[in-house]
Amino acid sequence: MDINDKARIHWACRRGMLELDISIMPFFRYEYDSLSDGDKQLFIRLLEHPDPDLFNWLMNHGEPDDSGLKRIVSLIQERNQQRGPVAI
C-alpha cells in the first residue's frame, strides 16, 4: 500500500474490534501525517496483521518479534496516552 493513499490506509485502520478502532483510528487521524515515511511504512505493515495480534500488542499482552513493529506499537501507545481519550 502506498504511504500517500490515505483513503486506503484509513479503510485498513477500520478493524473488527472496538478496542482496536479506539487505538488505531485516532492515531491515524491525529499522528499519521507527522510520521516519517519510514514510520508510515511501519504503520502500514502493522495494519497487515490480524486483529488478534494487534489487540495483544496494543493492549500489552505480548509484542511483535519485529523491532520496527514493536517501535510503531510503542509509538501508537505513547501518542494515544499523551493525547488522552478522543471520540472515534
64 and 43 in contact (C-beta within 8 Å)? no
> Where do the domains of the chain lie, and which CATH numbers do they carry?
6-83 (1.10.150.250)
Each residue's pLDDT tens digit, 40-73: 999 999 999 999 999 999 999 999 999 999 999 9
- At 83, the pLDDT band (50, 70, 90 cuts) reads confident
Residue 34 has pLDDT above 90, yes or no: yes
Q: What pLDDT was estimated at residue 47?
A: 97
Find the Cα–Cα–Cα–Cα dihedral 76, 87, 19, 75, rounded to 10°: 0
Question: Does the predicted TM-score (pTM) go above 0.75?
Answer: yes
- Compute CA distances 13 → 17, 39, 42, 51, 87, whole Å: 11, 15, 13, 11, 15
Q: What single letter denotes the amino acid at residue 64?
A: P
Each residue's pLDDT tens digit, 15-24: 988 999 999 9
